Amino acid sequence: MRLPRMVIAAAALLTGFIAQAEEAPTKPRLLFVFAHPDDEVFVAPVLARAARKGQPVTVVYATSGDMGPGVSSMKRGEALANHRESEARCAMQALGNPDVRFLRLGDGTLGVNAHHPESPAKKLAAALKPIIDEGGYEIVFTWGPDGGYGHADHRMVSAITTQIVQSIEEGRPGLMYPGIPKGTLPPIAEMQTWGETDRALLQVPYEYSPEDLAASARAVDCHKTQFDAATRAGMMQLFDHTIWQGSVHFRIGLPELPIEGSEVRAVPGPPPGH
């Protein structure tokens, strides 16, 4: 079966399956859209590898985490938001200094009355659309529908980003959702409700190097308000040994299905052995 264009493009841009993609004079521009500072830890090796390969990257945080004290004793509000932005900048420095933008919408509010004209969701869409339209991005990464572990802000960021990308007629970027391959969750009680994805849907494995993993560990260590010292020290190794196993796995968000006559063919699974 002939592979759809989106699958081929994703493999060329992300996994190195096509050597010319690495040698092209123009590096693909990548956009990552997150809900909160620290969300990047779920795909940190991808950011590190992009920097190592010289790919231009922009990271957008919809909120600054003003309601998430995490493990800190800080009060919720503006001071915490400013502190978490500093932690995010620290993490980004560890991951190669991408362009970082903070939209500063209210933490925990993105799903509230989302259909209302002045809702945070509408404000997110209004702020994010020009970034996507004007950035010339080839791939946009964001949370999948599960939001990782069901967080409403994560789910809304996924929905709004997908809504904007799917409306683009010419030059639409690829859309990627990170996924946890089913059966790879570590035996930690708090993680057992996290969203898992059928391995057949995770068609783009993004391999990373020990250097990328080390950069990711340095990035996680920046988020001192959100994770205790033991968690910061062990998180990347845990993900590496269980969920990732050498590659961060992605689902293609908007596959372009080839139509032959009246038949619509489904996107095929990964080749045997992958």
pLDDT of residue 2: 41
Whether pLDDT at 268 is above 70 = no
Q: Is residue 157 part of a domain?
A: yes
Residue 7 pLDDT greater than 50, yes or no: no
* Mean pLDDT of all residues in 236-241: 98
**Residue 223 domain-assigned (yes or no):** yes
Q: Residue 23: what pLDDT? A: 47
CATH number for the domain that contains residue 152: 3.40.50.10320
Average pLDDT of span 229-240: 98
- Residue 117 neighbours by CB distance under 10 Å: 7
Per-residue model confidence as pLDDT tens digits over 87-100 = 999 999 999 999 99
- The structure tokens listed for 128 are 């994010």
Contact by Cβ (8 Å): 44, 215: yes
Total number of domains constituting the chain: 1
**8 A C-beta contact, residue 242 and residue 184:** yes
In a domain, 273, yes or no: no
| CA angle, 161 then 166 then 171, to 5° | 105
Give the count of beta carbons closer than 10 Å to the beta carbon of residue 215.
Answer: 24
Spatial separation of the C-alpha atoms in residues 6 and 267, rounded to whole Å: 10
Question: Is residue 266 in a domain?
Answer: no
Query: Does residue 142 sit within a domain?
Result: yes
Evaluate whether residue 180 is within a structural domain.
yes
| Tokens coding 41 | 């830890």
Say what the pLDDT of residue 75 is: 95
Taking the C-alpha atoms of residue 156 and residue 147, their distance in angstroms, rounded to an integer, is 8
In this predicted structure, what is the pLDDT of residue 255?
82
The parent domain of residue 150 ranges over 5-253
271 in any annotated domain: no
Higher per-residue confidence, 221 vs 266: 221
Would 262 be classed as within a structural domain?
A: no
11 pLDDT exceeds 80? no
Q: Report residue 25's pLDDT band, with 50, 70 and 90 as the boundaries.
A: low
The answer to whether residues 21 and 13 touch, using CB atoms and an 8 Å cutoff, is: yes
Q: Please give the pLDDT value at position 73.
A: 92
Tell me how far CA of residue 68 lies from CA of 37, 154, 229, 264, in angstroms: 10, 14, 17, 45
Of the two residues 165 and 264, the one the predictor is more confident about is 165
The share of the chain scoring above pLDDT 90, in percent, equals 81
What confidence category does residue 27 fall into, taking pLDDT thresholds of 50, 70 and 90? Answer: confident
